[in-house]
Amino acid sequence: METRTALVTGAAQGLGQEFAVALAARGYRVAGLDLAPQPETAAKILDYVELVGDVTDETQIGEGLERLIDRFGTLHVVVNNAGIYPAKPFEETTAEDWRRIMRVNLEAPFLVTRAALPYLKAAGWGRIVNIASAAVFSAPPTMVPYIASKAGLIGFTRALAGALAPYGITANAIAPGMVRTPTTERTSGADGGFEDVRAGQAVRRTPEPPDLVSTLLYVVDEGSDFLTGQTLNVSGGSTYL
């Protein structure tokens, strides 16, 4: 069996970095696409392609994929992890806020997946993994655009599964709870967000990025061909559900 190749968006830190390192440890050749440089991620992976680019820009996505194929020759797994989640009262949300969140959280997975599809089809086997959010199910009122974007991503995943099944490509979503990452600590940790979310979980601790790794590896596993169109809710048994 040929060595599999994976692309992870938002790989500079947090969940994306954890996913990239975990896939490399499983034997994948890995490339990361992020708006920011990825020196920490690259330092943890022996054979890594660092692609600095905007996941909402078709040209930059295409150029990044060309570099990946030049280096590795093939592509099998796409993890659409890049995302933003600003919290703001709905009345204060501007049209530009809405468009920016939709571009990054929903349009970018579409653009990356569409650009990667010819390479996945050529490989004859593939996995699309979209990182949604368990917040879709609890729907906090200060994150209306974010919830809408992630709900759209779940719908995109379900429809994509049927569209890509004839090519041996699955599409699934992972919906984490509030994971402790540099971004969530900066945007939500200071005002008690972790404590509020943790109080509604059966597992009374804040998840760390490694808590999502086993789910990712299950979804991309060779034996998971019959798993597609699903959203795996990894939220510590949230009592909101």
DSSP 103: I
The token duo for 75 is: 């592509």
Which amino acid is present at 217? L
CB 78 within 8 A of CB 113: yes
Q: Which helix (H) or strand (E) holds 29?
A: strand 29-34
**CB neighbours (10 Å) of residue 180?**
17
Distances (CA, A) of 166 to 106, 163, 180, 227: 24, 7, 38, 14
The answer to whether residue 146 is catalytic is: yes
Is the CB of residue 139 less than 8 Å from the CB of residue 93?
no
Look-up of token digits 């905007």: 54
Q: Which of 85, 119, 146, 240 is catalytic?
A: 146
Q: Measuring CA to CA, which residue among 90, 109, 230 is closest to residue 147?
A: 90
Q: Would you please indicate which residues are annotated as catalytic (active-site) residues? A: 146
